[in-house]
Structure formats: C-alpha cells, structure tokens
Amino acid sequence: MKKYTLSLLVALFALASVATAQTATPTPVVASESKTEVSAAVGYEGQYVFRGQKVSDNVASGTVTVTLPSQTELSVTAYQNTRNGDASVNNEFDITLSQGYSLDKVTTLTVGGNGYFYPRASSKLGETPYSLEAFASVGYDAFLSPTATVAYDFYLKQLAVEGTLSQDVKLPFLASNWKLVPSVAAGWANANDLYPALKGKPVKDSYYYATAKVDLVYEIKNVVVAVGYRYNYLDNSDTDHSSWVGGSATIRF
C-alpha cells in the first residue's frame, strides 16, 4: 500500500509541477461579474477521520464559509458528538483563511492557514488546547481535478503531504440535478511532537493513509444535499481499516 500511496503523490506533484513551471508570478483572480458568496452547511459522519486518523464516532458538524470574488475564503467549522458514549471530540472548532491565485487558465495555487481549537481540552491530561498550521496547495482544473497539498503544523511540528482526486459523474437517468461524486485522498504525515502540552520526551508519529469516498449528490438552485459511503486505510504501527456513512446539506446565499 505504501508504494501505491507514494506513487499517487509523486504523480500528482509531477502534474502540478508541469502545470506551474511555465507560469508567471501568481496574482489574485478578480472576476468583475462574480459576487461574494456565503454558504452554511450541516453534516454528520459515522466516524470523524482527519488525515487518516480516527478522532471520534458519530460527529455532527456545522460550517459557515465566506468566499470573495478575489478568491479569498474564510470558513469556520464546529464539531460535536451526537452520542455521549463516544470518545469526545472536545467540541472542536476550526478556522481556515486562504487566498487563491490563478497561475494559468486551469491551475490554481492556494495558500493559507488553519487554526484548530479544543475548548474542553484538559491541561491535567496534557491535551493540546489549540494548534496552528500553514498550507499551500496546487489544483488543476481537468479530468479528476488533481490537487496536491503540503501543510505544516507549528505546534505538533508535523509535516503533512496529501494528494486528492475527484470527479463529478452525471446521472441523466435520474435527473440533471443528480450526480455521483467519487473521490480519493492519499497522504503521509510525520509529527515530531504529537502531544506538545505533555512534559517529557516528545512523542513522534509517522504514517501513511488513503481515504476513499463516494457521494450521491442532489442540487437544486442554492441547495446541495449529499450522502455517501467512506472507507479509510491507515498504515501506522498497526494497520487499520474502517468504513462508515456520512452526509451533508449546504445552502448558498
């Protein structure tokens, strides 16, 4: 599995490199006919998995996103367990701020930062109350929409690399507003201080993962509803396989 994961990542980065090698200095895209878009989404996942690592079970989420015509985007996401018996997600909420740049007609560079906040983190248990991360990604507007992302978490001292593929598949036998959206993400993460709030020798962790999803999506006007199946493969000290169902509903304004 490691060989396939690495091969996918190498192929994605090679594709991104070829696409960007002949471009000039990136500039923000300003579309005069575009307008600011605001969206609100709610979702549910049988498992909350982040970069291949399972965080908790039965998690609901809510996201508000503001996107400017200049490709500046701000989003806030909150997570909450739906069952008291599950491992706590610590009422996590994330803030992401990013800026997109058009490198050419089909290639976009996005840079930004993520803030991960855990209001119920226990200092006695050495749980991290928050973490900050910078990232850069290159996306290619073509078949399978390949995207390559590199991120660095300053608190966990973690470097993460991920490649993604996704493709809309129309379902004309249902209606024009139905489609299937299969996607796959494969990556590697290496943390040099997995529990920075704990005293003592830093805990290190390195692993590979691959996550596949397929969603059935219904879209009408400004409303998008999706439900689907997910599968995750984690290659850590112990190989782990898991699968679950999730879904979401989004309204755009």
Rounded CA separation 73/36 (Å): 10
Is position 69 within any domain? yes
Is position 11 within any domain? yes
- Look at residue 198 in the predicted model and tell me its pLDDT: 85
For residue 148, what are the domain limits? 2-20+36-252
Is position 26 within any domain? no
Is position 27 within any domain? no
Instruction: Please tell me the pTM assigned to this model.
Output: 0.82
Is position 28 within any domain? no
Pick out the chain residues at pLDDT < 70: 1-33, 237-238
- Look at residue 237 in the predicted model and tell me its pLDDT: 67
* Residue tagged 């895209």 (tokens): 29
- Look at residue 229 in the predicted model and tell me its pLDDT: 98
Rounded CA separation 43/130 (Å): 23
CA angle (27 as vertex; 21, 33 as ends), nearest 5: 125
Residue type, 109: L
- Look at residue 2 in the predicted model and tell me its pLDDT: 42
Is position 65 within any domain? yes
114: tokens are 């993520």
Per the structure, the count of domains in the chain is 1
Instruction: Kindly report the CATH number assigned to the domain that includes residue 187.
Output: 2.40.160.40
